Structure 1
Amino acid sequence: MKLRSIVSKLLVLFILTYVVSAMPLKAKADAFTSVTVGGDLSEQQKSDMLKYFGVTKDQVNLIQVNIDEERKYLGNVATKEQIGTKSISCSYVKPTENGGLDVTTYNIYWVNSDMIKNALITAGINNAEVKAAAPFNVSGTAALTGIMKGFEASKGGNQISEANKQAANQELVTTGELGQKIGKDKAAGLMNEVKKEVVEQKPDSKDETEKIVKNVVNNYNYNLNDNDINKITNVMYKISNLNLDYSKIKGQLNQVASKLKSTLQSDEAKGFFSRTWTSIKNFFQGLF
Protein backbone atom coordinates (compact mmCIF):
# COMPACT_ATOMS: atom_id res chain seq x y z
CA MET A 1 0.00 0.00 0.00
CA LYS A 2 2.82 2.36 0.88
CA LEU A 3 4.49 1.70 -2.45
CA ARG A 4 1.22 2.38 -4.30
CA SER A 5 0.78 5.63 -2.35
CA ILE A 6 4.30 6.76 -3.18
CA VAL A 7 3.85 5.90 -6.85
CA SER A 8 0.54 7.83 -6.93
CA LYS A 9 2.12 10.91 -5.38
CA LEU A 10 5.05 10.78 -7.80
CA LEU A 11 2.63 10.42 -10.70
CA VAL A 12 0.63 13.49 -9.58
CA LEU A 13 3.85 15.47 -9.11
CA PHE A 14 5.04 14.46 -12.58
CA ILE A 15 1.74 15.52 -14.16
CA LEU A 16 1.77 18.90 -12.39
CA THR A 17 5.36 19.52 -13.40
CA TYR A 18 4.55 18.68 -17.02
CA VAL A 19 1.48 20.93 -17.10
CA VAL A 20 3.31 23.92 -15.60
CA SER A 21 6.29 23.53 -17.92
CA ALA A 22 4.00 23.22 -20.94
CA MET A 23 2.16 26.45 -20.16
CA PRO A 24 2.92 29.31 -22.61
CA LEU A 25 5.28 31.99 -21.36
CA LYS A 26 2.59 34.65 -21.66
CA ALA A 27 0.49 32.95 -19.04
CA LYS A 28 3.37 33.32 -16.57
CA ALA A 29 4.15 36.85 -17.70
CA ASP A 30 2.48 40.14 -16.86
CA ALA A 31 -0.67 39.65 -18.94
CA PHE A 32 -1.91 43.08 -17.84
CA THR A 33 0.47 44.68 -20.34
CA SER A 34 0.13 44.53 -24.12
CA VAL A 35 2.45 45.71 -26.87
CA THR A 36 1.24 46.13 -30.44
CA VAL A 37 3.65 46.38 -33.35
CA GLY A 38 3.09 47.44 -36.94
CA GLY A 39 2.88 44.44 -39.25
CA ASP A 40 5.12 46.08 -41.86
CA LEU A 41 8.08 46.55 -39.53
CA SER A 42 11.15 44.36 -39.89
CA GLU A 43 11.99 41.91 -37.12
CA GLN A 44 14.86 44.18 -36.07
CA GLN A 45 12.52 47.20 -35.86
CA LYS A 46 10.03 45.22 -33.79
CA SER A 47 12.85 44.20 -31.47
CA ASP A 48 13.98 47.83 -31.20
CA MET A 49 10.46 48.93 -30.25
CA LEU A 50 10.28 46.29 -27.51
CA LYS A 51 13.57 47.64 -26.16
CA TYR A 52 12.15 51.18 -26.26
CA PHE A 53 9.13 50.03 -24.24
CA GLY A 54 11.48 48.31 -21.80
CA VAL A 55 10.02 44.81 -22.18
CA THR A 56 10.72 41.49 -23.85
CA LYS A 57 8.24 39.54 -25.96
CA ASP A 58 7.88 37.00 -23.14
CA GLN A 59 6.74 39.65 -20.66
CA VAL A 60 3.76 41.04 -22.58
CA ASN A 61 0.89 40.14 -24.85
CA LEU A 62 2.58 40.81 -28.19
CA ILE A 63 0.09 41.69 -30.94
CA GLN A 64 0.56 42.61 -34.57
CA VAL A 65 -1.56 45.30 -36.25
CA ASN A 66 -1.96 45.30 -40.03
CA ILE A 67 -2.89 48.02 -42.51
CA ASP A 68 -6.35 46.51 -43.15
CA GLU A 69 -7.28 47.01 -39.49
CA GLU A 70 -6.13 50.62 -39.68
CA ARG A 71 -8.15 51.24 -42.83
CA LYS A 72 -11.22 49.74 -41.18
CA TYR A 73 -11.39 52.55 -38.63
CA LEU A 74 -9.74 55.37 -40.56
CA GLY A 75 -11.05 54.74 -44.08
CA ASN A 76 -14.11 56.97 -43.70
CA VAL A 77 -12.47 59.78 -41.73
CA ALA A 78 -8.88 60.09 -43.00
CA THR A 79 -7.35 60.56 -46.42
CA LYS A 80 -5.25 57.86 -48.09
CA GLU A 81 -2.19 60.02 -47.51
CA GLN A 82 -2.95 60.27 -43.78
CA ILE A 83 -3.45 56.51 -43.46
CA GLY A 84 -0.50 55.53 -45.64
CA THR A 85 0.14 52.12 -47.16
CA LYS A 86 2.00 50.40 -44.33
CA SER A 87 1.33 49.60 -40.69
CA ILE A 88 4.16 51.19 -38.69
CA SER A 89 2.86 52.60 -35.38
CA CYS A 90 3.42 50.65 -32.16
CA SER A 91 1.94 50.94 -28.70
CA TYR A 92 2.45 49.93 -25.10
CA VAL A 93 -0.75 49.58 -23.07
CA LYS A 94 -1.04 48.81 -19.37
CA PRO A 95 -4.53 49.27 -17.83
CA THR A 96 -4.49 50.60 -14.27
CA GLU A 97 -7.11 50.70 -11.53
CA ASN A 98 -6.87 54.47 -11.06
CA GLY A 99 -4.72 57.50 -11.83
CA GLY A 100 -6.35 58.48 -15.11
CA LEU A 101 -4.57 58.30 -18.43
CA ASP A 102 -0.81 58.65 -18.73
CA VAL A 103 -0.02 59.03 -22.46
CA THR A 104 3.37 59.65 -24.07
CA THR A 105 4.49 59.64 -27.71
CA TYR A 106 7.75 59.04 -29.56
CA ASN A 107 8.39 59.68 -33.28
CA ILE A 108 4.75 60.73 -33.73
CA TYR A 109 4.49 64.12 -35.45
CA TRP A 110 0.88 64.71 -36.59
CA VAL A 111 -0.94 64.06 -33.31
CA ASN A 112 0.21 64.61 -29.74
CA SER A 113 -0.39 62.87 -26.42
CA ASP A 114 -3.36 65.07 -25.46
CA MET A 115 -5.13 64.30 -28.74
CA ILE A 116 -4.68 60.58 -28.11
CA LYS A 117 -5.80 61.00 -24.51
CA ASN A 118 -8.99 62.75 -25.61
CA ALA A 119 -9.73 59.96 -28.10
CA LEU A 120 -9.13 57.27 -25.47
CA ILE A 121 -11.66 58.95 -23.17
CA THR A 122 -14.18 58.76 -26.01
CA ALA A 123 -13.31 55.09 -26.49
CA GLY A 124 -14.22 54.51 -22.85
CA ILE A 125 -10.69 53.98 -21.50
CA ASN A 126 -10.33 55.89 -18.25
CA ASN A 127 -7.23 54.51 -16.53
CA ALA A 128 -4.12 53.26 -18.32
CA GLU A 129 -0.45 53.84 -19.02
CA VAL A 130 -0.09 54.28 -22.77
CA LYS A 131 2.88 54.84 -25.07
CA ALA A 132 2.46 55.45 -28.81
CA ALA A 133 5.70 55.16 -30.74
CA ALA A 134 7.41 54.25 -33.99
CA PRO A 135 10.99 53.42 -35.04
CA PHE A 136 10.97 56.53 -37.26
CA ASN A 137 8.80 59.61 -37.76
CA VAL A 138 5.17 58.80 -38.68
CA SER A 139 1.92 60.76 -38.55
CA GLY A 140 0.43 58.65 -35.75
CA THR A 141 -3.10 58.54 -37.16
CA ALA A 142 -3.09 54.75 -36.85
CA ALA A 143 -1.65 54.63 -33.34
CA LEU A 144 -5.11 54.62 -31.76
CA THR A 145 -6.08 51.41 -33.57
CA GLY A 146 -3.18 49.57 -31.95
CA ILE A 147 -3.77 51.12 -28.54
CA MET A 148 -7.41 50.02 -28.45
CA LYS A 149 -6.52 46.55 -29.70
CA GLY A 150 -3.81 46.28 -27.04
CA PHE A 151 -6.21 47.45 -24.33
CA GLU A 152 -8.78 44.82 -25.28
CA ALA A 153 -6.11 42.09 -25.30
CA SER A 154 -4.74 42.96 -21.86
CA LYS A 155 -6.04 41.17 -18.78
CA GLY A 156 -7.16 44.43 -17.19
CA GLY A 157 -8.93 45.78 -20.27
CA ASN A 158 -12.47 45.46 -21.60
CA GLN A 159 -14.01 45.16 -25.03
CA ILE A 160 -14.64 48.50 -26.73
CA SER A 161 -17.79 48.92 -28.81
CA GLU A 162 -17.48 49.59 -32.54
CA ALA A 163 -19.36 52.88 -32.13
CA ASN A 164 -16.82 54.09 -29.55
CA LYS A 165 -13.91 53.04 -31.76
CA GLN A 166 -15.30 54.84 -34.79
CA ALA A 167 -16.01 58.03 -32.82
CA ALA A 168 -12.58 57.97 -31.15
CA ASN A 169 -10.74 57.59 -34.47
CA GLN A 170 -12.82 60.32 -36.10
CA GLU A 171 -12.11 62.61 -33.16
CA LEU A 172 -8.37 61.98 -33.42
CA VAL A 173 -8.28 62.73 -37.16
CA THR A 174 -10.48 65.83 -36.82
CA THR A 175 -8.31 67.16 -34.00
CA GLY A 176 -5.17 66.44 -36.04
CA GLU A 177 -6.56 68.44 -38.96
CA LEU A 178 -7.43 71.34 -36.65
CA GLY A 179 -3.94 71.07 -35.21
CA GLN A 180 -2.44 71.79 -38.62
CA LYS A 181 -4.50 74.96 -38.74
CA ILE A 182 -4.37 76.37 -35.20
CA GLY A 183 -1.70 74.30 -33.44
CA LYS A 184 -1.85 70.93 -31.69
CA ASP A 185 -2.34 72.19 -28.13
CA LYS A 186 -5.06 74.63 -29.15
CA ALA A 187 -6.84 71.94 -31.15
CA ALA A 188 -6.69 69.42 -28.31
CA GLY A 189 -7.88 72.01 -25.80
CA LEU A 190 -10.75 73.18 -28.01
CA MET A 191 -12.01 69.66 -28.72
CA ASN A 192 -11.73 68.80 -25.04
CA GLU A 193 -13.80 71.82 -24.03
CA VAL A 194 -16.47 71.16 -26.65
CA LYS A 195 -16.68 67.50 -25.61
CA LYS A 196 -17.14 68.43 -21.97
CA GLU A 197 -20.14 70.57 -22.89
CA VAL A 198 -21.60 67.96 -25.25
CA VAL A 199 -21.28 65.04 -22.83
CA GLU A 200 -22.70 67.09 -19.96
CA GLN A 201 -25.58 68.70 -21.87
CA LYS A 202 -26.50 65.62 -23.96
CA PRO A 203 -27.93 67.45 -27.02
CA ASP A 204 -30.90 65.71 -28.69
CA SER A 205 -30.09 66.72 -32.25
CA LYS A 206 -27.27 67.67 -34.58
CA ASP A 207 -28.52 71.28 -34.61
CA GLU A 208 -28.26 71.47 -30.81
CA THR A 209 -24.77 69.95 -31.02
CA GLU A 210 -23.76 72.59 -33.55
CA LYS A 211 -24.96 75.36 -31.21
CA ILE A 212 -22.73 74.02 -28.46
CA VAL A 213 -19.78 73.82 -30.86
CA LYS A 214 -20.28 77.41 -32.05
CA ASN A 215 -20.73 78.74 -28.50
CA VAL A 216 -17.37 77.29 -27.47
CA VAL A 217 -15.53 78.19 -30.69
CA ASN A 218 -16.75 81.80 -30.45
CA ASN A 219 -14.76 82.18 -27.24
CA TYR A 220 -11.54 81.94 -29.21
CA ASN A 221 -10.01 83.86 -32.07
CA TYR A 222 -9.21 80.81 -34.21
CA ASN A 223 -10.83 81.91 -37.50
CA LEU A 224 -12.42 78.53 -38.12
CA ASN A 225 -14.58 78.25 -41.21
CA ASP A 226 -17.93 76.51 -41.76
CA ASN A 227 -16.20 73.31 -42.89
CA ASP A 228 -14.21 73.20 -39.63
CA ILE A 229 -17.37 73.75 -37.59
CA ASN A 230 -19.15 71.03 -39.55
CA LYS A 231 -16.35 68.49 -38.94
CA ILE A 232 -16.31 69.22 -35.21
CA THR A 233 -20.10 69.00 -35.08
CA ASN A 234 -20.16 65.65 -36.88
CA VAL A 235 -17.77 63.97 -34.48
CA MET A 236 -19.37 65.58 -31.42
CA TYR A 237 -22.81 64.42 -32.49
CA LYS A 238 -21.42 60.87 -32.69
CA ILE A 239 -19.94 61.29 -29.21
CA SER A 240 -23.26 62.59 -27.85
CA ASN A 241 -24.89 59.32 -28.97
CA LEU A 242 -22.40 57.17 -27.07
CA ASN A 243 -24.11 57.89 -23.74
CA LEU A 244 -20.81 58.60 -22.01
CA ASP A 245 -21.24 59.10 -18.27
CA TYR A 246 -20.08 62.65 -17.53
CA SER A 247 -19.58 61.92 -13.83
CA LYS A 248 -17.13 59.12 -14.71
CA ILE A 249 -15.07 60.94 -17.35
CA LYS A 250 -15.19 64.43 -15.83
CA GLY A 251 -11.90 63.88 -14.03
CA GLN A 252 -10.09 62.74 -17.17
CA LEU A 253 -11.50 65.63 -19.23
CA ASN A 254 -10.48 68.13 -16.56
CA GLN A 255 -7.01 66.57 -16.48
CA VAL A 256 -6.49 67.44 -20.14
CA ALA A 257 -8.14 70.85 -19.73
CA SER A 258 -5.93 71.72 -16.78
CA LYS A 259 -2.77 70.98 -18.77
CA LEU A 260 -3.89 73.16 -21.68
CA LYS A 261 -5.57 75.86 -19.61
CA SER A 262 -2.96 78.57 -20.16
CA THR A 263 -3.06 78.07 -23.94
CA LEU A 264 -6.83 78.36 -24.07
CA GLN A 265 -7.01 81.30 -21.66
CA SER A 266 -4.59 83.38 -23.72
CA ASP A 267 -6.56 82.70 -26.87
CA GLU A 268 -9.87 83.35 -25.12
CA ALA A 269 -8.55 86.77 -24.14
CA LYS A 270 -7.46 87.44 -27.73
CA GLY A 271 -10.87 86.40 -28.96
CA PHE A 272 -12.63 88.61 -26.43
CA PHE A 273 -10.60 91.72 -27.27
CA SER A 274 -10.91 91.04 -30.99
CA ARG A 275 -14.70 90.82 -30.75
CA THR A 276 -14.83 93.88 -28.50
CA TRP A 277 -12.70 95.96 -30.89
CA THR A 278 -14.84 94.86 -33.85
CA SER A 279 -17.99 95.91 -31.98
CA ILE A 280 -16.52 99.34 -31.13
CA LYS A 281 -15.31 99.85 -34.70
CA ASN A 282 -18.71 98.91 -36.12
CA PHE A 283 -20.43 101.27 -33.66
CA PHE A 284 -18.41 104.32 -34.77
CA GLN A 285 -18.67 103.39 -38.42
CA GLY A 286 -22.44 103.37 -37.95
CA LEU A 287 -22.32 106.88 -36.50
CA PHE A 288 -20.32 108.38 -39.35
Structure 2
Amino acid sequence: MRKITIAILALILVGMLIPVGFSTDSNVVITYGETTYANSNYKSNVDSFFESQTNYDVDNVGSKIITADQVNKVSSSITGRTYNSNQILSSALVDLNDNDNLQVSVDKSKITVITGDMYISALKSAGITSGHVYVTSPVSASGESALAGIMNSYEEVTDVEIPDSVKQAANDEIYTEAEIINNSNVSADDLSKLVDDVKEEVSNDNVTDHSTIVNIINNYVQTNNINITNSDIENLADSIQQVQNVQDDVSNYQSQVSDFMDNATSGDFSLDSLFDWIKSFF
Protein backbone atom coordinates (compact mmCIF):
# COMPACT_ATOMS: atom_id res chain seq x y z
CA MET A 1 0.00 0.00 0.00
CA ARG A 2 2.83 2.38 0.89
CA LYS A 3 4.58 1.71 -2.44
CA ILE A 4 1.41 2.44 -4.39
CA THR A 5 0.89 5.68 -2.47
CA ILE A 6 4.47 6.78 -3.23
CA ALA A 7 4.03 5.91 -6.90
CA ILE A 8 0.80 7.91 -7.12
CA LEU A 9 2.51 10.90 -5.54
CA ALA A 10 5.36 10.54 -8.03
CA LEU A 11 2.91 10.51 -10.95
CA ILE A 12 1.25 13.64 -9.59
CA LEU A 13 4.69 15.27 -9.42
CA VAL A 14 5.36 14.33 -13.03
CA GLY A 15 2.02 15.87 -14.01
CA MET A 16 3.05 19.09 -12.29
CA LEU A 17 6.38 19.10 -14.10
CA ILE A 18 4.92 18.61 -17.58
CA PRO A 19 2.57 21.36 -18.81
CA VAL A 20 -0.43 20.32 -20.91
CA GLY A 21 0.58 19.93 -24.56
CA PHE A 22 4.29 20.12 -23.73
CA SER A 23 6.48 18.40 -26.31
CA THR A 24 9.25 20.88 -26.97
CA ASP A 25 12.59 19.25 -27.73
CA SER A 26 15.66 21.40 -27.12
CA ASN A 27 17.55 19.36 -29.72
CA VAL A 28 15.29 20.56 -32.53
CA VAL A 29 15.23 24.10 -33.95
CA ILE A 30 13.60 25.72 -36.97
CA THR A 31 15.07 28.80 -38.62
CA TYR A 32 12.71 30.75 -40.83
CA GLY A 33 13.81 33.23 -43.46
CA GLU A 34 12.31 36.54 -42.40
CA THR A 35 10.31 36.85 -45.63
CA THR A 36 8.75 33.45 -45.01
CA TYR A 37 8.00 34.15 -41.35
CA ALA A 38 6.26 37.45 -42.15
CA ASN A 39 3.86 35.80 -44.62
CA SER A 40 1.35 33.44 -43.01
CA ASN A 41 0.81 31.45 -46.21
CA TYR A 42 4.54 31.07 -46.79
CA LYS A 43 5.10 29.95 -43.20
CA SER A 44 2.23 27.48 -43.42
CA ASN A 45 3.73 25.91 -46.55
CA VAL A 46 7.12 25.58 -44.90
CA ASP A 47 5.62 24.13 -41.72
CA SER A 48 3.68 21.58 -43.76
CA PHE A 49 6.90 20.37 -45.38
CA PHE A 50 8.67 20.01 -42.04
CA GLU A 51 5.76 18.12 -40.51
CA SER A 52 5.51 15.82 -43.53
CA GLN A 53 9.21 14.98 -43.25
CA THR A 54 9.46 14.61 -39.47
CA ASN A 55 7.36 13.48 -36.51
CA TYR A 56 7.31 16.93 -34.93
CA ASP A 57 4.48 19.36 -34.32
CA VAL A 58 6.15 22.59 -35.43
CA ASP A 59 4.07 24.58 -32.94
CA ASN A 60 6.08 22.87 -30.20
CA VAL A 61 9.50 23.31 -31.79
CA GLY A 62 11.76 26.23 -30.93
CA SER A 63 12.35 28.66 -33.78
CA LYS A 64 14.42 31.65 -34.83
CA ILE A 65 14.17 34.16 -37.64
CA ILE A 66 17.08 34.69 -40.03
CA THR A 67 17.19 38.27 -41.28
CA ALA A 68 18.65 39.85 -44.37
CA ASP A 69 21.20 41.61 -42.17
CA GLN A 70 22.48 38.27 -40.90
CA VAL A 71 22.74 36.83 -44.40
CA ASN A 72 24.39 39.98 -45.75
CA LYS A 73 27.13 39.83 -43.14
CA VAL A 74 28.27 36.72 -44.97
CA SER A 75 27.20 37.24 -48.57
CA SER A 76 28.38 40.83 -48.98
CA SER A 77 31.97 39.90 -48.22
CA ILE A 78 31.88 36.86 -50.52
CA THR A 79 29.91 37.90 -53.58
CA GLY A 80 29.29 41.57 -52.92
CA ARG A 81 25.60 40.75 -53.11
CA THR A 82 23.16 42.17 -50.59
CA TYR A 83 19.63 40.95 -49.91
CA ASN A 84 16.50 42.84 -48.92
CA SER A 85 14.17 41.75 -46.14
CA ASN A 86 11.72 40.42 -48.75
CA GLN A 87 14.31 38.05 -50.26
CA ILE A 88 15.12 35.73 -47.33
CA LEU A 89 12.93 32.72 -48.04
CA SER A 90 14.88 29.53 -47.33
CA SER A 91 14.07 27.85 -44.02
CA ALA A 92 15.56 24.89 -42.21
CA LEU A 93 14.81 22.44 -39.43
CA VAL A 94 17.76 20.93 -37.57
CA ASP A 95 17.22 17.74 -35.55
CA LEU A 96 20.13 16.69 -33.34
CA ASN A 97 18.25 13.70 -31.96
CA ASP A 98 19.20 11.97 -35.21
CA ASN A 99 22.92 12.43 -34.64
CA ASP A 100 24.71 9.33 -35.90
CA ASN A 101 25.59 10.77 -39.29
CA LEU A 102 24.98 14.13 -40.91
CA GLN A 103 21.99 14.02 -43.27
CA VAL A 104 20.40 16.81 -45.29
CA SER A 105 16.96 16.48 -46.90
CA VAL A 106 16.26 19.21 -49.45
CA ASP A 107 12.85 20.09 -50.87
CA LYS A 108 13.93 19.82 -54.52
CA SER A 109 10.65 21.27 -55.74
CA LYS A 110 11.61 24.60 -54.15
CA ILE A 111 15.42 24.69 -53.65
CA THR A 112 16.75 25.09 -57.16
CA VAL A 113 20.56 25.32 -56.89
CA ILE A 114 22.03 24.00 -53.65
CA THR A 115 21.78 20.23 -53.22
CA GLY A 116 21.83 18.12 -50.08
CA ASP A 117 25.39 17.02 -50.86
CA MET A 118 26.51 20.64 -51.14
CA TYR A 119 25.05 21.46 -47.73
CA ILE A 120 26.69 18.37 -46.25
CA SER A 121 30.07 19.31 -47.72
CA ALA A 122 29.86 22.90 -46.45
CA LEU A 123 28.65 21.83 -43.00
CA LYS A 124 31.48 19.32 -42.70
CA SER A 125 33.86 22.13 -43.63
CA ALA A 126 32.45 23.92 -40.59
CA GLY A 127 33.06 20.90 -38.36
CA ILE A 128 29.41 19.77 -38.26
CA THR A 129 29.17 16.00 -38.68
CA SER A 130 25.88 14.96 -37.05
CA GLY A 131 22.18 15.74 -37.11
CA HIS A 132 19.43 15.69 -39.72
CA VAL A 133 18.76 18.93 -41.57
CA TYR A 134 15.63 19.68 -43.61
CA VAL A 135 15.66 22.62 -46.04
CA THR A 136 12.75 24.16 -47.92
CA SER A 137 11.26 27.43 -49.16
CA PRO A 138 7.68 28.54 -49.82
CA VAL A 139 8.61 29.50 -53.39
CA SER A 140 11.57 28.75 -55.65
CA ALA A 141 14.87 29.84 -54.12
CA SER A 142 18.53 29.05 -54.69
CA GLY A 143 19.00 27.87 -51.11
CA GLU A 144 22.22 29.81 -50.56
CA SER A 145 20.90 31.84 -47.65
CA ALA A 146 19.70 28.70 -45.83
CA LEU A 147 23.23 27.83 -44.72
CA ALA A 148 23.31 30.85 -42.41
CA GLY A 149 20.11 29.60 -40.78
CA ILE A 150 21.35 26.03 -40.51
CA MET A 151 24.53 27.07 -38.72
CA ASN A 152 22.53 29.39 -36.51
CA SER A 153 20.34 26.42 -35.58
CA TYR A 154 23.35 24.37 -34.53
CA GLU A 155 24.52 27.25 -32.36
CA GLU A 156 21.09 27.49 -30.77
CA VAL A 157 20.84 23.76 -30.03
CA THR A 158 24.37 23.27 -28.73
CA ASP A 159 24.93 26.74 -27.22
CA VAL A 160 28.34 26.69 -28.93
CA GLU A 161 29.17 29.53 -31.31
CA ILE A 162 30.73 28.65 -34.64
CA PRO A 163 33.81 30.85 -35.22
CA ASP A 164 33.26 33.59 -37.80
CA SER A 165 36.24 32.36 -39.83
CA VAL A 166 34.62 28.92 -40.09
CA LYS A 167 31.22 30.34 -41.05
CA GLN A 168 32.90 32.45 -43.71
CA ALA A 169 34.73 29.46 -45.20
CA ALA A 170 31.61 27.26 -45.26
CA ASN A 171 29.46 29.98 -46.80
CA ASP A 172 32.13 30.81 -49.35
CA GLU A 173 32.09 27.16 -50.42
CA ILE A 174 28.31 27.26 -50.98
CA TYR A 175 28.36 30.59 -52.82
CA THR A 176 31.28 29.56 -55.03
CA GLU A 177 29.54 26.36 -56.10
CA ALA A 178 26.28 28.22 -56.73
CA GLU A 179 28.07 30.76 -58.95
CA ILE A 180 29.76 28.01 -60.98
CA ILE A 181 26.46 26.17 -61.50
CA ASN A 182 24.71 29.36 -62.55
CA ASN A 183 27.43 30.30 -65.03
CA SER A 184 28.28 26.92 -66.57
CA ASN A 185 26.80 23.67 -67.80
CA VAL A 186 28.28 21.54 -65.02
CA SER A 187 25.75 19.53 -63.02
CA ALA A 188 25.36 20.08 -59.29
CA ASP A 189 26.18 16.42 -58.60
CA ASP A 190 29.38 16.48 -60.65
CA LEU A 191 30.54 19.70 -59.05
CA SER A 192 29.73 18.47 -55.54
CA LYS A 193 31.73 15.27 -56.11
CA LEU A 194 34.64 17.27 -57.54
CA VAL A 195 34.73 19.53 -54.47
CA ASP A 196 34.52 16.59 -52.06
CA ASP A 197 37.31 14.67 -53.82
CA VAL A 198 39.61 17.68 -53.93
CA LYS A 199 38.90 18.61 -50.31
CA GLU A 200 39.68 15.06 -49.22
CA GLU A 201 43.04 15.04 -51.02
CA VAL A 202 43.92 18.53 -49.78
CA SER A 203 43.03 17.55 -46.21
CA ASN A 204 44.90 14.23 -46.30
CA ASP A 205 48.06 15.87 -47.63
CA ASN A 206 47.58 19.05 -45.55
CA VAL A 207 47.91 21.24 -48.65
CA THR A 208 47.59 25.00 -48.11
CA ASP A 209 49.38 26.31 -51.21
CA HIS A 210 47.02 27.86 -53.75
CA SER A 211 48.85 26.73 -56.90
CA THR A 212 49.03 23.16 -55.62
CA ILE A 213 45.28 23.14 -54.99
CA VAL A 214 44.73 24.50 -58.53
CA ASN A 215 46.79 21.62 -59.92
CA ILE A 216 44.78 19.08 -57.91
CA ILE A 217 41.51 20.55 -59.23
CA ASN A 218 42.84 20.51 -62.80
CA ASN A 219 43.74 16.85 -62.47
CA TYR A 220 40.24 15.95 -61.31
CA VAL A 221 38.62 18.16 -63.97
CA GLN A 222 40.60 16.51 -66.77
CA THR A 223 40.21 12.97 -65.45
CA ASN A 224 36.43 13.31 -65.06
CA ASN A 225 35.90 15.49 -68.14
CA ILE A 226 34.24 18.31 -66.19
CA ASN A 227 33.74 21.49 -68.16
CA ILE A 228 34.48 24.53 -65.99
CA THR A 229 36.55 27.61 -66.77
CA ASN A 230 39.97 28.54 -65.45
CA SER A 231 38.27 31.30 -63.48
CA ASP A 232 35.98 28.73 -61.86
CA ILE A 233 38.99 26.62 -60.94
CA GLU A 234 40.74 29.61 -59.38
CA ASN A 235 37.64 30.47 -57.35
CA LEU A 236 37.26 26.86 -56.19
CA ALA A 237 40.92 26.79 -55.19
CA ASP A 238 40.45 29.98 -53.14
CA SER A 239 37.42 28.46 -51.41
CA ILE A 240 39.09 25.14 -50.61
CA GLN A 241 42.25 26.92 -49.45
CA GLN A 242 40.12 29.01 -47.09
CA VAL A 243 38.53 25.85 -45.67
CA GLN A 244 41.95 24.30 -45.14
CA ASN A 245 43.29 27.42 -43.42
CA VAL A 246 40.58 27.40 -40.70
CA GLN A 247 41.03 23.79 -39.62
CA ASP A 248 42.43 24.79 -36.22
CA ASP A 249 39.27 26.81 -35.55
CA VAL A 250 37.17 23.87 -36.78
CA SER A 251 38.93 21.47 -34.40
CA ASN A 252 38.37 23.82 -31.47
CA TYR A 253 34.67 24.12 -32.33
CA GLN A 254 34.29 20.34 -32.65
CA SER A 255 35.89 19.86 -29.24
CA GLN A 256 33.36 22.20 -27.61
CA VAL A 257 30.44 20.50 -29.37
CA SER A 258 31.72 17.08 -28.24
CA ASP A 259 31.71 18.33 -24.66
CA PHE A 260 28.10 19.48 -25.09
CA MET A 261 26.99 16.16 -26.58
CA ASP A 262 28.69 14.21 -23.78
CA ASN A 263 27.00 16.33 -21.12
CA ALA A 264 23.63 16.16 -22.88
CA THR A 265 23.63 12.38 -22.97
CA SER A 266 24.93 11.80 -19.46
CA GLY A 267 23.64 14.55 -17.23
CA ASP A 268 20.24 15.71 -18.45
CA PHE A 269 16.97 15.03 -16.66
CA SER A 270 15.41 11.91 -18.15
CA LEU A 271 11.68 11.24 -18.05
CA ASP A 272 12.33 7.66 -19.14
CA SER A 273 14.48 7.08 -16.08
CA LEU A 274 11.82 8.65 -13.88
CA PHE A 275 9.09 6.42 -15.28
CA ASP A 276 11.33 3.36 -14.85
CA TRP A 277 11.78 4.34 -11.20
CA ILE A 278 8.00 4.71 -10.76
CA LYS A 279 7.35 1.31 -12.33
CA SER A 280 9.75 -0.30 -9.89
CA PHE A 281 7.21 0.31 -7.11
CA PHE A 282 4.57 -1.95 -8.69
TM-score, normalization by structure 2: 0.72
Greater Rg over alpha carbons, structure: 1
CA gap 1:158/1:220 in 2 versus in 1, 3 angstroms: same
Q: Which residue of 1 aligns with 2:28?
A: 33
Shift, 1:202, TM fit: 1.1
Q: Which residue of 1 aligns with 2:115?
A: 112
Is 2:205 aligned against 1:201?
yes
How many residue pairs align between the two structures? Answer: 227
Q: Which residue of 1 aligns with 2:67?
A: 66
Shift, 1:207, TM fit: 2.5
Q: Which residue of 1 aligns with 2:93?
A: 92
Q: Which residue of 2 aligns with 1:169?
A: 171
Aligned equivalents of 1:202 and 1:223: distance in 2?
27
Say if 2:190 and 2:226, in contact at 8 Å, map to a contact too.
no
Is 2:234 aligned against 1:233?
no
Q: Within 5 Å, which residues of 2 pair with 1:260-271?
A: none
Q: Within 5 Å, which residues of 2 pair with 1:183-194?
A: 183-194=187-198
Aligned equivalents of 2:49 and 2:98: distance in 1?
24
Structure 2 counterpart of 1:144, from 134, 143, 147: 147
Say if 2:208 and 2:241, in contact at 8 Å, map to a contact too.
no
The one-letter code sitting in structure 1 at the alignment partner of 2:28 is T
RMSD, aligned CA: 2.7
Q: Within 5 Å, which residues of 2 pair with 1:245-256?
A: none
Unaligned runs of 5+ in 2: 1-11, 255-282
* Deviation sequence 1:60-90 (CA, Å, 0-9, x none): 2210011111111111223638x56521110
Q: Which residue of 1 aligns with 2:223?
A: 219
The one-letter code sitting in structure 2 at the alignment partner of 1:238 is Q
Aligned equivalents of 2:157 and 2:126: distance in 1?
16
* Deviation sequence 1:122-181 (CA, Å, 0-9, x none): 1111011001101111111101011111111114x6421111111111111111223342
Q: Which residue of 1 aligns with 2:43?
A: 46
Say if 1:96 and 1:127, in contact at 8 Å, map to a contact too.
no
Identity %: 25
The one-letter code sitting in structure 2 at the alignment partner of 1:101 is L
* Deviation sequence 1:26-50 (CA, Å, 0-9, x none): 8x61010000111122133223322
The one-letter code sitting in structure 1 at the alignment partner of 2:121 is N
Q: Which residue of 2 aligns with 1:258?
A: none
Say if 2:28 and 2:97, in contact at 8 Å, map to a contact too.
no
Aligned equivalents of 2:30 and 2:194: distance in 1?
31
* Deviation sequence 1:90-138 (CA, Å, 0-9, x none): 0000124743221111110011111111111111110110011011111
